[in-house]
Structure 1
Amino acid sequence: MPQPSAQVTAAEISRIAGVTRATVSNWRRRHDDFPAPSGGTESSPLYDLVEVKAWLGARGHATTADPAEELRTTLRLHQRSGSLTGSLLPLVLAAARCTPEERTALAGLSDPSLIVRAEGASADVSDLVPGAEAVRFAGEDIDVLRALLRCVDDDATGEAALAVLAERELEDSSAGGTYRTPAPLADLMARLIPGPCERVLDPACGSGSLLAAVARRGAGALYGQDTVPVQAQRSAVSLLLTAPDADVTVRVGDSLRSDTFADLTVDAVVCNPPYGDRDWGHDELAYDARWVYGVPPRAESELAWVQHALAHLVPGGHAVMLLPPATASRASGRRVRMDLVRSGAVRAVIALPPGAAAPLHVGLQIWVLQRPEPAGPERKSVLFVDTTEAGGSGDRSSAASVATATGTRGARSVLDWPVLTEAALGQWSAFIEAPDTFTDDPGTARAVPVVDLLDDVVDLTPTRHVRASRSDIAPVDLARETEEVRRRLVAGAASLGKAARYTDWSAAGPTPREWRTATAADLARGGALTLLRTAPESRDSAGDASTATLPVLTGPDIARGTAPSGTPGTLRTDTAPVIAPGDVVVRAVAGGNGAMARVTDEVDAGSLLGPQVHLFRPDPARLDPWFLAGFLGSAENIAAASTGSTILHVSPGRLRVPLLPLEEQRRYGEAFRRVHTLRAEAARATELADETARLLAGGLTGGGLIPSPPPAAPDKTSRAESA
């Protein structure tokens, strides 16, 4: 029987072919044989995937998609992919454990031999993957097996293949809200656990990113549970690959209703639980022994997770949880919050800016909890930290607008994770070292006495407690600061006006110019450029002391047009590329405000390349750097080379560059350099205008500044005498 074909959008065609969406639109208009829509609407047509692949193959475009996209497409075409994807997860583990040479040998096997080897390899590791069963592959599965091998060979960590398989499985299930905790946030949560911890539990482990983060900090025994089978399986495989020295135990099940680790106590709990779940088991769990601090109301599933975490801790153990802001203030949870605070279980609440994790339009909060110790020290205060100003840039009101897989440019603010992490960890470290003498930082952090929190609402919202007033600053100092910022604003406005005078451009003609392009991967193979990226950290990696103090160029630095502002932190400084003038740097995560690419200069030279940045080092005899940066960072180019759903990761090798003579490249390069200057000056002027307005408004309302009196009218007698 013929296999049923999937349908794809124009955006998906662009990713499969490795071109921009504009190119797909041109194909539709200019080629009569381009496949006709087979579904969808006039504004959003769908195309038969088999017909599209045949059309692309006839023109040499079928092989330009990256291996993860090829695996995704092959699964969509496969007749029994819905029942097969879960069975492929153990095979990812087996393939990723092979050496590159062993994977090459596997790829060279005949179809029957590969099927036999795949079945045997899956069986060898199936006992390590929760819920995995013996699988029998058939001849019709061979395309999927080979696509999976190519995907793992391209990304030896296995994460790309795991993401594709989980995505496919979740599409066919009713599971919702299964979002991956971003790596910088997972790292921050892991670092909030004071001191070393050996045994760590995540009762809603999802893809395992939180447990992987604590493993990088030395945890040796990792326990996870998730109610979604594919998530638990993905977590187990991912942890076995990223933390090979750890003892990994992951199980399937609902932790609240059916706790598979009921008798386990651990040193720490990390968790990003599901939010707003009214069907968490309120009625059947009403008399559960975990509710030491009160029965959680039906609408307070988050407080059920909090108490579940505390129940699994040894006395003095810590739990770090990511929770929605309503948990801190909702009236229905007041009594439980009161007992948590009164007992000393709540140690800190840290407010994050919108965009830190899904749901991206909400500013989530990190709660740091500690299980009280019998006869332990009295905890007299709770630390509140607000990182919204430290970690974000751009327009906060637009934080809900997110770049999507279709290539839509979002307006989500760019988070400065190094600054945010430093702000949160710095305040927390100072607090746990001396909680009774902690010095408040107005507007950022405050240690609030427990007795002051036990009022009628027990509101634990950080912004309510750390809010600063301009009355705390001496009027003379405030006036001096305001005038200095105003002077910089005037100078910035003048620079912006100068940059805006660039008019050296004209219309191309009645139709847009068409390009003959090459991918960055092709240019790298031809020696026109070198593609570099910082290697991921491993648990056993040791940094180079000679580079441990160098600044790090981050994605937010590129977006804002500022000098390198990051710190090495956990960066592998022994392998991180050192930036040279004339390099082209591109943000590895698409979306947000600001530039996606820029050319480095003398200020950037000598700094280290950050973990979320791609570096292109062009041969100046063949490629103009600003020409390269302009085209690499274009919106359509970035969209066509990006993969993901809520977070778009840029595949650097898929970015395309027009093939032009060097002299013509330089003309384009000069134009792109001027555009970059205009964007940088506009961003600087906007930032200064916001800062000036904030200082003036705060000073006037706080009493530190007063409006100047109107000028006195000239005295009539004096005027007559002077006449």
Structure 2
Amino acid sequence: MPQSSAQVTAAEISRIAGVTRATVSNWRRRHEDFPAPSGGTDSSPLYDLESVRTWLASRGHASAATPSEELRTTLRLRAQSGGSGTPEGLLLLVLAAAGRSPEDLTAATRLPDEDLVAHAQRDAGSVADAVPAADPVRFDTDDATVLRALYACVRDEGGQAALGVLAERELEDSAASGAYRTPAPLADLLARLIPGSPSRVLDPACGSGTLLAAVARRGARELYGQDTLPVQARRSAVSLMLTEPEASVTVRAADSLRADAFPDLLADAVLCNPPYGVRDWGHDELAYDPRWAYGVPARAESELAWVQHALAHLTPGGCAVMLLPPATAGRASGRRVRAELVRSGALRAVIALPAGASVPLHVGLQVWVLRRPEPGGPERKSVLFVDTAAEGSAGAGLGGTASTGRTRGASRSASVDWPGVTARALGAWQAFTENPDAFEGEPGVAHAVGVVDLLDDVVDLTPARLVRASRAEVDPAKLSAEVDATRRDLVKAAKSLTRAAGHEDWSAAGTAAREWRTATASDLARGGALALLRTVPEGARGRVDGGSEAQSAARAVLTGSDISRGSAPTGDPAELRGDTAPVIAAGDVLVRAVAGGEGAMARVADEVDAGALLGPHVHLFRPDPKRLDAWFLAGFLGAEENIAGASTGSTVLTVSPGRLRVPLLPLEEQRRYGEAFRHVHALRAEARRATALAEETARLLAGGLTGGQLLPSREAAEVRGQGGDSPH
């Protein structure tokens, strides 16, 4: 059967085979039948891909690359060779392929090149109306390798996996493009802030469709999106059609402020994470636009233009939830518009998020909740302000839910305590909406401020300033008791940390480090020493061992963030939608699928984890206890050098589980290593708990002293005055 091929580097051969670069070099020297270079240079040769695959198969080396990695590689090679298929055509092909049976997809991969191209062209053309501004679909035989890999990826991993790889080729989540994906926990929070069950929802800066997907999971059935970048609009349309087949999806590609694609649309709700700090948003040509019912936004206030755009698209009483930078709440140039939003009752709440909740990661963003005023509706006398920054920052929370601490430089979304942030924000918002006049709030966290009190010379709507003004309401006796209890817990945690740090279960290896004979996880899986399980996205056709038909009864989903911060499973089963997720058992080894950040990369599932569902960004290794010790396996799989060697990508490093390497040791020796790794895990857990308790104790003490509830000790001051304590 004739098939088109491509050229690959030695590094790509190592990834395909699941071996090191050094192994590929040895093959070239030792095996005369190893394929000769077909291009490149002497220092950087290229090899024919199909010849390499044939040679590897003759040696019993099955490909260690996942279908999505195969697709990623073929796309890069296609770009080098100048394949003619349009990006829109490949997006359409993903959508069409997702509706095919696994047998149909397998049959397509086996077609000769010319037949495959014609088949793919018909498939993509059948859904051509789904993607905004798509060019006519056109493939040729140079695209056959990509088409074959795409069909295989959709068959084995689902349409979303293939869609994500395609989007990488056109759009990098970076400052260069200015486009960023809203983190899933944040998207879920924004969707849950909308009261009731809206049916018709608009996102005028929809990006990849994350916010619309979140609100669709809550029952919305008419989804409207618009985005300036055509690739984002196309990606959003296909993604939503894949994940929400029962919803009506309409996405357009254009600038919402300058060229509103839905001028007559009145939605039940608007969700939006608009671009920030844009000067050229159309201030001059839109000066007399009817959307500016609350005042013409200043040139520096593009965010307030988006706010009014959202309000203009709401039915009376409809709700808008916007993610905005903190400067929007206090810049002098926006004072008049803010004042009118408050005076009219359109602004209902401002919720401050911790740094790291979303890009830009070093800034604590804010959520604005707005409602379009109803003629003759209730008078709105107050606005809710919530500050979740203390709750959600690294180190917040105690016990199992504490995060590990801030990463170097900027905070990261993975370190945010999303369960705590969500509980604070939703709890305050729901209590406020039930009875605004009787809302008591929580000192230092949530406070309802009267409209009259907000309409001063600056109209500063910063939550931290407004909720801290209410700290004097705290009962001194209650705060003192809370400080004492937290301090006692800190002392206990410090003693436990001392014991963990004092444990010695290792010795020096001698004059040189020990060398290992290793095998890849793929090799061990083929030999039956372990099983590698994963969560299969909705639409993927393959079966997953360990999945459960009763997975909806599981109490939570274990996420990569849970592993990094050492928490119990915190994910929401609703996030999995139709995904097939294995149920975790005690003794399973769990490894984060995305490298980077602080905290552990791997851990062994305990009784708390058992019964939870495996999250989509976690790899599960189920070892045979007669051949592999679980803690030994977790220690080596999560090692820094091992993770680095098995990771691919530039902006995001994705761990290829089959490429992780494990030393080949007798079981008794494995157990000795496993016990040492168990102590390392305990040390990390005790350090995390002690750090969280120290931060909480310091926060309570500082707040009590500055708020007037706690008084410094006179005896301690007298001792310092007599020179009893060093000032340092």
TM-score range for the pair, normalised by the shorter chain length:
0.7 to 0.9
Q: 1:478, CA displacement in angstroms?
A: 3.6
- The partner residue of 2:124 within 122, 125, 141 is 122
What is residue 591 of structure 1 aligned with on the other side? 596
Q: 1:16, CA displacement in angstroms?
A: 6.1
Q: Are 1:109 and 2:115 an aligned pair?
A: no
What is residue 384 of structure 2 aligned with on the other side? 383
What is residue 139 of structure 2 aligned with on the other side? 137
Q: 1:104, CA displacement in angstroms?
A: 0.6
Task: Return the letter of the residue paired with 2:64.
Answer: T
What is residue 243 of structure 2 aligned with on the other side? 242
What is residue 353 of structure 2 aligned with on the other side? 352
Q: 1:291, CA displacement in angstroms?
A: 1.0
Task: Return the letter of the residue paired with 1:696.
Answer: L
Deviates more, 1:126-135 or 1:248-257: 126-135
Give, in whole Å, the separation in 2 of the partners of 1:25 and 1:95: 38
Task: Return the letter of the residue paired with 1:206.
Answer: G
Alignment of 1:633-712 (within 5 A): 633-642=638-647, 648=653, 650-703=655-708, 704-709=710-715
Q: 1:313, CA displacement in angstroms?
A: 0.8
Q: 1:311, CA displacement in angstroms?
A: 0.8
What is residue 427 of structure 1 aligned with on the other side? 428
Q: 1:659, CA displacement in angstroms?
A: 3.2
Q: 1:62, CA displacement in angstroms?
A: 9.1
Q: Secondary structure at the match of 1:458?
A: coil
| Structure 1, unaligned runs of 5 or more | 40-46, 403-409, 714-723
Whether the 8 Å contact between 2:199 and 2:219 is mirrored in structure 1 is yes
Q: 1:68, CA displacement in angstroms?
A: 2.1
Alignment of 1:277-426 (within 5 A): 277-394=278-395, 398-399=406-407, 401=409, 414-426=415-427
Q: 1:449, CA displacement in angstroms?
A: 1.2
Query: Per-residue displacement from partner, 1:243-283 (whole Å, max 9, x unpaired)?
Result: 11111111111111111111111111111111111111111
Give, in whole Å, the separation in 2 of the partners of 1:398 and 1:174: 21
Residue 477 and residue 628 in structure 1: after superposition, are their counterparts in 2 closer, same or farther (change >3 A)? Answer: same
Q: Secondary structure at the match of 1:267?
A: strand
Q: Secondary structure at the match of 2:452?
A: helix
Give, in whole Å, the separation in 2 of the partners of 1:451 and 1:376: 19
Give, in whole Å, the separation in 2 of the partners of 1:361 and 1:635: 26
Query: Per-residue displacement from partner, 1:6-44 (whole Å, max 9, x unpaired)?
Result: 999x8x89866656xxx55898999999999x99xxxxx
Residue 602 and residue 213 in structure 1: after superposition, are their counterparts in 2 closer, same or farther (change >3 A)? Answer: closer
Q: 1:199, CA displacement in angstroms?
A: 1.0
Give, in whole Å, the separation in 2 of the partners of 1:316 and 1:93: 36
Give, in whole Å, the separation in 1 of the partners of 2:173 and 2:608: 50
Q: 1:113, CA displacement in angstroms?
A: 0.7
Q: Secondary structure at the match of 1:660?
A: coil
Deviates more, 1:242-251 or 1:584-593: 584-593
What is residue 399 of structure 2 aligned with on the other side? none
Give, in whole Å, the separation in 1 of the partners of 2:628 and 2:119: 46
Give, in whole Å, the separation in 1 of the partners of 2:269 and 2:241: 20
- Number of residue-to-residue matches in the alignment: 687
Whether the 8 Å contact between 1:323 and 1:367 is mirrored in structure 2 is yes
What is residue 719 of structure 1 aligned with on the other side? none
Give, in whole Å, the separation in 2 of the partners of 1:63 and 1:701: 63
Give, in whole Å, the separation in 2 of the partners of 1:98 and 1:193: 36
Residue 645 and residue 401 in structure 1: after superposition, are their counterparts in 2 closer, same or farther (change >3 A)? Answer: farther
Q: 1:546, CA displacement in angstroms?
A: 11
Give, in whole Å, the separation in 2 of the partners of 1:537 and 1:193: 26
Query: Per-residue displacement from partner, 1:48-83 (whole Å, max 9, x unpaired)?
Result: 583697998677889323222222222222222587
What is residue 226 of structure 2 aligned with on the other side? 225
Q: CA RMSD in A?
A: 3.9
Query: Per-residue displacement from partner, 1:353-412 (whole Å, max 9, x unpaired)?
Result: 22222222222111111111111111111111222233343489945647xxxxxxx977
- The partner residue of 1:626 within 610, 628, 631 is 631
What is residue 82 of structure 2 aligned with on the other side? 80
What is residue 89 of structure 1 aligned with on the other side? 91
Residue 192 and residue 198 in structure 1: after superposition, are their counterparts in 2 closer, same or farther (change >3 A)? Answer: same
Residue 707 and residue 524 in structure 1: after superposition, are their counterparts in 2 closer, same or farther (change >3 A)? Answer: same
What is residue 542 of structure 2 aligned with on the other side? none
Whether the 8 Å contact between 1:18 and 1:640 is mirrored in structure 2 is no
Task: Return the letter of the residue paired with 1:598.
Answer: R
Give, in whole Å, the separation in 2 of the partners of 1:710 and 1:206: 58
Q: Are 1:251 and 2:247 an aligned pair?
A: no
Give, in whole Å, the separation in 2 of the partners of 1:276 and 1:627: 50
- The partner residue of 2:46 within 46, 50, 53 is 50
Query: Per-residue displacement from partner, 1:280-322 (whole Å, max 9, x unpaired)?
Result: 1111111111111111111111111111111111111111111
Whether the 8 Å contact between 2:14 and 2:24 is mirrored in structure 1 is no
Residue 127 and residue 413 in structure 1: after superposition, are their counterparts in 2 closer, same or farther (change >3 A)? Answer: closer
Give, in whole Å, the separation in 1 of the partners of 2:679 and 2:175: 50
Task: Return the letter of the residue paired with 2:104.
Answer: E
Deviates more, 1:528-537 or 1:198-207: 528-537
Query: Per-residue displacement from partner, 1:478-524 (whole Å, max 9, x unpaired)?
Result: 444333333333332222222223251323653552442222x5544
Alignment of 1:418-497 (within 5 A): 418-467=419-468, 472-497=473-498
Whether the 8 Å contact between 1:398 and 1:412 is mirrored in structure 2 is no
Q: Secondary structure at the match of 2:715?
A: coil
What is residue 212 of structure 2 aligned with on the other side? 211
What is residue 67 of structure 1 aligned with on the other side? 67
Whether the 8 Å contact between 1:220 and 1:247 is mirrored in structure 2 is yes
Q: Tell me the percent identity.
A: 64
Give, in whole Å, the separation in 2 of the partners of 1:453 and 1:324: 19
Give, in whole Å, the separation in 2 of the partners of 1:496 and 1:129: 56
TM-score, structure 2 normalization: 0.84
Q: Secondary structure at the match of 1:594?
A: coil
Whether the 8 Å contact between 2:554 and 2:613 is mirrored in structure 1 is no
Residue 589 and residue 468 in structure 1: after superposition, are their counterparts in 2 closer, same or farther (change >3 A)? Answer: farther
Task: Return the letter of the residue paired with 1:667.
Answer: R
Give, in whole Å, the separation in 1 of the partners of 2:576 and 2:118: 41
Give, in whole Å, the separation in 2 of the partners of 1:177 and 1:559: 28
Residue 683 and residue 659 in structure 1: after superposition, are their counterparts in 2 closer, same or farther (change >3 A)? Answer: same
Q: Secondary structure at the match of 1:50?
A: strand
Q: Secondary structure at the match of 2:188?
A: helix
Give, in whole Å, the separation in 1 of the partners of 2:301 and 2:471: 37
| Structure 2, unaligned runs of 5 or more | 396-402, 540-547, 720-728
Query: Per-residue displacement from partner, 1:604-645 (whole Å, max 9, x unpaired)?
Result: 445555565443332211211101111222233334555666
Give, in whole Å, the separation in 2 of the partners of 1:671 and 1:472: 50
Give, in whole Å, the separation in 1 of the partners of 2:559 and 2:6: 45
What is residue 717 of structure 1 aligned with on the other side? none
Whether the 8 Å contact between 2:583 and 2:611 is mirrored in structure 1 is yes
Residue 25 and residue 681 in structure 1: after superposition, are their counterparts in 2 closer, same or farther (change >3 A)? Answer: farther
Give, in whole Å, the separation in 2 of the partners of 1:226 and 1:664: 57
Q: Secondary structure at the match of 2:238?
A: helix
Whether the 8 Å contact between 2:404 and 2:564 is mirrored in structure 1 is no
Q: Secondary structure at the match of 1:334?
A: helix
Residue 661 and residue 187 in structure 1: after superposition, are their counterparts in 2 closer, same or farther (change >3 A)? Answer: same
Whether the 8 Å contact between 1:351 and 1:363 is mirrored in structure 2 is yes
Give, in whole Å, the separation in 1 of the partners of 2:275 and 2:44: 36
Give, in whole Å, the separation in 2 of the partners of 1:245 and 1:254: 27
Residue 379 and residue 655 in structure 1: after superposition, are their counterparts in 2 closer, same or farther (change >3 A)? Answer: farther
Whether the 8 Å contact between 1:15 and 1:640 is mirrored in structure 2 is no
Whether the 8 Å contact between 1:266 and 1:312 is mirrored in structure 2 is yes
Q: Secondary structure at the match of 1:586?
A: strand
Q: 1:700, CA displacement in angstroms?
A: 3.3
Residue 24 and residue 445 in structure 1: after superposition, are their counterparts in 2 closer, same or farther (change >3 A)? Answer: farther
Whether the 8 Å contact between 2:385 and 2:467 is mirrored in structure 1 is yes
Query: Per-residue displacement from partner, 1:671-698 (whole Å, max 9, x unpaired)?
Result: 2111111111222222222233333333
What is residue 406 of structure 1 aligned with on the other side? none
Residue 604 and residue 386 in structure 1: after superposition, are their counterparts in 2 closer, same or farther (change >3 A)? Answer: same
Whether the 8 Å contact between 1:129 and 1:233 is mirrored in structure 2 is yes
